[in-house]
Copies of this chain bind each other. A is one copy, B any other.
Amino acid sequence: MPFAEPNTTRSASGGQPGSRRAQILAAAAELFARHGFHGVGINDIGAAVGISGPALYRHFRSKDAMLGEMLTSISEVLLGGALERVRTAEGPLAALHALIGWQVDFALDNPALITVQERDLGNLADSDRQQVRALQRQYVEVWVSAISQVVPAAGEPAARAASHAVFGLINSTPHSAHLDRGQMAELLHRMALAAVRAA
């Protein structure tokens, strides 16, 4: 029996109420990213946080619910951050810069989540998938609007395609990462901006 963290379960002294859930989701994200949703067993996830198998059902209704919560949470965070950055930016170009910086930071800090989001979206339960898709659509719209203001020459469909292309560029992070974080962020930022301007 490998020792897990001393979890003082309740709202008492140490840990927040949902800390265990977060820990489980983080471990699951790592595993899903490496082997795919269907390639990871409930026992694998449990083992990764020091408990074994069915104990996870004390924290999540099902394996599908884990993926659902994981992906809706990402989508909400991404959209919220994007709206916030655009709101506080001064001018369209600054907004685009802020969006790129936000996506770059998120991708560099959460490579596993990025991988899972674009790999296992199709494995979501129907209602979760609808919700995630809706959030993603809104996120894309924020980008389309920002791009259209900086590069009005491109039509709206082109701006939409360009958004997806830039996501692909920035989200390539999990496949490379041979530079240190600072250099990587700067490189991706420059490339993304140049790509958008060429649209």
Interface residues of chain A, those whose CB is within 8 Å of chain B, are 34-39, 118-120, 122-123, 157-158, 160-162, 164-172, 175-179, 183-184, 187-188, 190-199
Residue of B nearest to A35 (CB): B122
A38 contact from B39, B158, B184, B197, Cβ within 8 A: B39
Give 14 A-B pairs besides A161-B176, A161-B187, A162-B191 with Cβ atoms closer than 8 angstroms: A36-B36, A36-B120, A36-B123, A37-B38, A37-B39, A38-B39, A39-B123, A158-B179, A164-B175, A165-B172, A168-B169, A168-B175, A169-B169, A194-B197
**Closest residue of B by beta carbon distance from A154:** B187
Residues in B with CB closer than 8 Å to A175 are: 118, 164, 167-168
The listed residue (B35, B119, B167, B194) touching A195 by CB distance below 8 A is B194
Whether B183 and A158, one on each chain, are in contact in the complex, defined by CB atoms closer than 8 angstroms, is yes
Task: Among B34, B176, B179, B199, point to the contact of A190 (Cβ < 8 A).
Answer: B199
Q: Which of A187, A193, A195 has the most CB of B within 10 A?
A: A195
Q: Judging by beta carbons under 8 Å apart, are B169 and A166 in contact?
A: yes
Q: Identify 10 residue pairs between A and B in the complex whose beta-carbon atoms are under 8 Å apart, listed by A's number.
A: A36-B119, A119-B119, A160-B176, A160-B178, A161-B187, A162-B187, A164-B172, A168-B169, A169-B169, A194-B194
Nearest Cβ distance between residue A6 and chain B, in whole angstroms?
A: 34
Bound: A38/B187 CA distance, A = 35
**CA A179 to CA B161, docked complex, whole Å:** 8
Q: Give complex CA distance A36, B36 in Å.
A: 8
Q: Chain B residues near A123: list those with CB within 8 A.
A: 35-36, 39
Cβ–Cβ contact A122 & B193, under 8 A: no
Given contacts A36-B122, A119-B36, A119-B119, contact A199 B187 (CB under 8 A): yes
Minimum Cβ distance to chain B for residue A184 (Å): 7
